Amino acid sequence: MRCGLARLWALLPDARLVGGVVRDLLAGRAVADIDMATPEPPERVQAILAAAGVKVVATGLAHGTVTAVIDGRPYEITTLRRDERTDGRHAVVAWTADWQEDAARRDFTINAMSCDRDGVVHDYFGGRVDLAAGRVRFVGDASARIREDALRVLRFFRFHARYGRGVPDAAAMAAIGACRDGLARLSAERVWSELRRILAGPAVVATLALMDESGVLACLLPEGCDLPALERLIATGAPDDPVLRLAVLARAAPDMLAGRLRLSRAETAALAAVRSGAPPDPAMDEDGRRRLLADEPAQALVGRSWRLQAERLGARSAAWDALRADLLARARPVFPLAGRDLVEAGMTPGPQVGQVLAQVRGWWHAGGCRAGRRECLAYLERLVAAGPAA
């Protein structure tokens, strides 16, 4: 990282680190993405980097952003901006050379700091003090910041969970309560992106309780939520999987939740698996576990097991942990016959093939999914010989 930054600063000496990287460096936290800002217009930035042989990707020219790739690591570089117009979702921007003007359009004071090549931190709105105090505060007027982008409501709760301490900023909470209706104008994808991070983050129950008190949670999940159920899930030691937590928290039907939040196919399947299906239980015998795995993947059963453990016990359990480890370690039983095997055995293709195949599978399943191909074919022969009455 140091070599990449040194090279960029040699090419763009007036650039600064901005946003999360400055915040996390000051907080002593690991840095994920590196964002920079510069007074140079994006076309000029592209030209300078390209002339120096640096790979440049035009990731967001309309908003003044390019990405420099050095030694495989991306560095996002954005031209200083001011908002010309905003509608609560999108902004039309213009370039500026004024660092404070650019900082004023950011969401929170802790995200509005910048750091130059000499290590000097430029803090126009008291972000450093707020960070030390564990206070998440909007830059300037909180209501104005939310009207510019309603997603900042959810970002406030996410950042408060990670950087806040104690009672949340009163001005922020008042503005959120007054402006929460703006959430309805956001795309489902943007809402889920933030909600997913909140669900997977720290202090999730306390954060959701704040969202509930402010009326925000009802905007996102109007069918209601079960915070005590989520608290019991967390008490089991369950992983911080956002879909698992959503399945336990939200009262809406899985298909309704998936549609409202535009979940991916994998997320939708995981959500449904947590909510319904055969119940795994630590008391299950060998054959019972094999039957479960024959019908569903281990991951689906594991997700459901956490919900059941939360409902029945609400605490950690070595027996439930052992069940999950066993399910994940097992090879999944596979029914050894297919429709073509029945046709080869002399059956005429048609609906009856599927019916008889289901009968054979039912026999295989009832026996603990142990019978191999030879045994299944022998049972098939007996069925065919017995005729329709079988």
CATH number for the domain that contains residue 79:
3.30.460.10
pTM of the model: 0.90
Q: What is the pLDDT of residue 87?
A: 60
Note whether 343 and 359 are same-domain residues.
yes
Note whether 343 and 268 are same-domain residues.
no
| pLDDT tens-place string over residues 355-379 | 999 999 999 999 999 999 999 999 9
- CA-based nearest residue to 115, from 97, 132, 127: 127
pLDDT band at 386 (very low <50, low <70, confident <90, very high): confident
For 17, list phi and psi in degrees, rounded to 5.
Answer: -70, 140
Note whether 14 and 117 are same-domain residues.
yes
Note whether 23 and 148 are same-domain residues.
no
Note whether 208 and 235 are same-domain residues.
no
What CATH number did the domain enclosing 158 receive?
A: 1.10.3090.10
pLDDT band at 384 (very low <50, low <70, confident <90, very high): confident
Q: What angle do CA 305, 311, 315 make, to 5 degrees?
A: 85
| Token output for 388 | 């329709």
Please state, rounded to an integer, the average pLDDT across all residues of the chain. Answer: 94
Cβ atoms of 297 and 331 within 8 Å: the answer is: no
Instruction: Tell me the mean pLDDT in the region 149-169.
Output: 97
Domain range for 302: 225-333
Can you list the positions of beta strands (E) in the chain? Answer: 16-18, 35-38, 55-60, 65-70, 73-79, 81-86, 91-95, 114-115, 121-122
The identity of residue 11, as a single letter, is L
Note whether 280 and 366 are same-domain residues.
no
pLDDT band at 89 (very low <50, low <70, confident <90, very high): low
Mark which of 109, 131, 153 sits at the end of a domain. 131
Q: What is the pLDDT of residue 4?
A: 86
Q: What is the pLDDT of residue 390?
A: 45
Note whether 29 and 107 are same-domain residues.
yes
Note whether 164 and 232 are same-domain residues.
no
pLDDT at position 90 over 70 = no
pLDDT at position 199 over 90 = yes
- Which DSSP letter does residue 73 get? E
Note whether 326 and 368 are same-domain residues.
no
Note whether 107 and 62 are same-domain residues.
yes
Note whether 11 and 123 are same-domain residues.
yes
Distance CA 192, CA 300 (A): 21
Can you list the positions of beta strands (E) in 278-360? Answer: none
- How many structural domains comprise the chain? 4
pLDDT at position 344 over 80 = yes
Distance CA 297, CA 311 (A): 22
pLDDT band at 32 (very low <50, low <70, confident <90, very high): confident
| pLDDT tens-place string over residues 254-282 | 999 999 999 999 999 999 999 999 999 99
Mark which of 97, 131, 165 sits at the end of a domain. 131
The identity of residue 291, as a single letter, is R
Note whether 198 and 73 are same-domain residues.
no
Question: If phi over 0 gives left and psi between -120 and 50 gives alpha, with beta otherwise, what is residue 90?
Answer: beta
Mark which of 116, 131, 146 sits at the end of a domain. 131
Give residue for tokens 């019978």: 371
